[in-house]
Amino acid sequence: MVRPSNPRTSSISTKFLLFASALLFFALLISACLVAQSDEWTRLNQESVSLYQQGDYRRATELAQKALELAERELGPEHPIVAVSLNNLAEFHREQGQYAQAEPLYKRALAIEEKTLGSNHLSVARSLNNLGSLYEAQGRYAEAAPLYKRSLAIVEKTLTPYHPILATSLNNLGSLHEPQ
């Protein structure tokens, strides 16, 4: 188990967990509505998230990889469920400081969601936020800002003004100004 030693990374991890937790139910709801995914994918996905929350990133990453492979095999490479798996796997890599492995996964998840769900879907907002968090963790603030802004715009259009996800999105965008 590797914990980030950088307080900035820990703050980003906390923000991501808040955002991800709020959207986890949403992602599982989407998966149930779009397709009757296999019990095995559901088990792997839930177990990987649980291990991640416990700080066992290595094992969480292994299970997330298996969930991704299963989703791709059962549903095809461009299915929204594959995007959920990609986001999870990318986050586990990001948490371990494996930014080079995380970035293409986040980008692929975003591309799948934009293509299949539309550019103003909450899942797209999540993926934008995730990629922004990766860039923020790397100090790539100029690249993170437009992603956070676009995510916030989607959330503002979709949810009520007092929704916790909106507060998280505002906080993520505001956090970019701290190091500057």
pLDDT digits (tens, 9 = 90+) for 94-121: 989 999 999 999 999 999 999 999 999 9
| Mean pLDDT of all residues in 23-38 | 49
Task: Assign residue 80 the CATH number of its domain.
Answer: 1.25.40.10
Residue 150 belongs to some domain of the structure: yes
| Domain-embedded: residue 2 | no
Buried b (16+ CB within 10 A) or exposed e, 84-119: bbbbbbbbbbbbbbeeeebbebbebbbebbbebbee
Q: For position 135, what pLDDT does the model report?
A: 95
Establish if 111 belongs to a structural domain: yes
Mean pLDDT, residues 50-76: 94
pLDDT tens figures, 76-98: 999 999 999 999 999 999 989 99
Give Cα separations from 53 to 6, 33, 72 (angstroms): 18, 25, 24
Local confidence band at 169 (pLDDT 50, 70, 90 cut-offs): low
Q: Which pLDDT value is given to residue 154?
A: 86
- CA 90, 9, 96, 47: dihedral to nearest 10 degrees? -60
Report the predicted TM-score, pTM, of the whole model to 2 decimal places: 0.75
> Is residue 88 one of the residues assigned to a domain?
yes
pLDDT for 13: 47
pLDDT tier, 23 (very low <50, low <70, confident <90, very high otherwise): very low
Residue 132 pLDDT greater than 80, yes or no:
yes
Report residue 125: phi and psi, to 5°: -60, -40
Q: Is position 180 within any domain?
A: no
Which of the four pLDDT bands, split at 50, 70 and 90, describes residue 158? confident
The pLDDT value given to residue 163: 53
- Tell me the angle at which helices 164-175 and 141-158 cross, rounded to the nearest 10 degrees: 160
Residues spanned by the domain of 122: 8-175
CA–CA distance, 52 with 59 (Å, rounded to integer) = 8
Number of domains in the chain: 1
Dist CA 41 CA 146 (whole Å)? 33
